[in-house]
Structure 1
Amino acid sequence: MTDRAGDTPLYSIAVAAQLSGLTPAALRLYEEKGLLTPARSEGGTRRYSEDDLARLREVARLQDDGINLAGIGHVMRLQDENAELRRRLAES
């Protein structure tokens, strides 16, 4: 089996929807709201990575907790900033 980076775009929107338990419409909405940005093929087709799938699952979990999409956007940005700060600390 080949080891791939978590950010390698592998999955079409239909497969990503199935793997995440969401609908393709939800994935498009999350992208529209800036909650994730899937890669695009040369033809413009969305391609989702394992990292994208993990992010989709986190969005769905936060929605299940009753947080609206605007709030989820804030939470996700703070989580991203926290992860970046942790990476910087680890490097120093």
Structure 2
Amino acid sequence: MPPSSTRPTDNLDDDDYPAYTMGRAAEMLSTTPAFLRALGENRLIIPLRSEGGHRRYSRYQLRIAARARELVDQGTKIEDACRIVILEDQLEEAQRINEELRAARTR
């Protein structure tokens, strides 16, 4: 098999592959489709769309949605929870980049 070809099972390990329907995603998070739509409206997660226009979510998006759900369950407004999760994600990325730069300097 040429290296550029993909196997159907390759997507099973891909955190960004949109494998979950809205109903399945809501079930996995013990929430409602309305909650997932609200996350999209607040631009926390933007699901991909199937050819038929149905929302599809990746494992990465579900982890982000789960974090927002934790905050909302603790009493945080959904808009604020989305902003907090976005800032947490940005901070984590900045810390990763800083660590890479520090490691590059010591080489």
TM-score greater than 0.5 by the shorter chain: yes
Residue 82, structure 1, aligned to residue 77, structure 2: no
> Structure 2: 5+ residue runs without aligned partners?
1-8, 102-107
> Structure 1: 5+ residue runs without aligned partners?
none
TM-score by length of 1: 0.86
**Counterpart Cα distance in 2 of 1:44 and 1:90:** 40
Task: Return the offset for 1:34.
Answer: 1.6
| Map of 2:56 onto structure 1 | 47
Task: Return the offset for 1:74.
Answer: 2.1
| Map of 2:21 onto structure 1 | 12
Q: Which digits, 9 at most, give the CA deviation of each residue in 1:35-66, with x for residues without a partner?
A: 21112223322111111111111111001111
Point out the structure with max Rg over C-alpha: 2
3-state SS, counterpart of residue 52 of structure 1:
helix
| Map of 2:71 onto structure 1 | 62
Range with bigger deviation, 55-64 or 34-43: 34-43
Give aligned pairs, total: 92
3-state SS, counterpart of residue 20 of structure 2:
coil
Higher relative contact order (CA 8 A, sep 6+): 1
Letter in 1 for 2:84: V
**Counterpart Cα distance in 1 of 2:84 and 2:33:** 23
TM-score by length of 2: 0.75
| Map of 2:32 onto structure 1 | 23
Q: Which digits, 9 at most, give the CA deviation of each residue in 1:54-83, with x for residues without a partner?
A: 111111100111111221122112112112
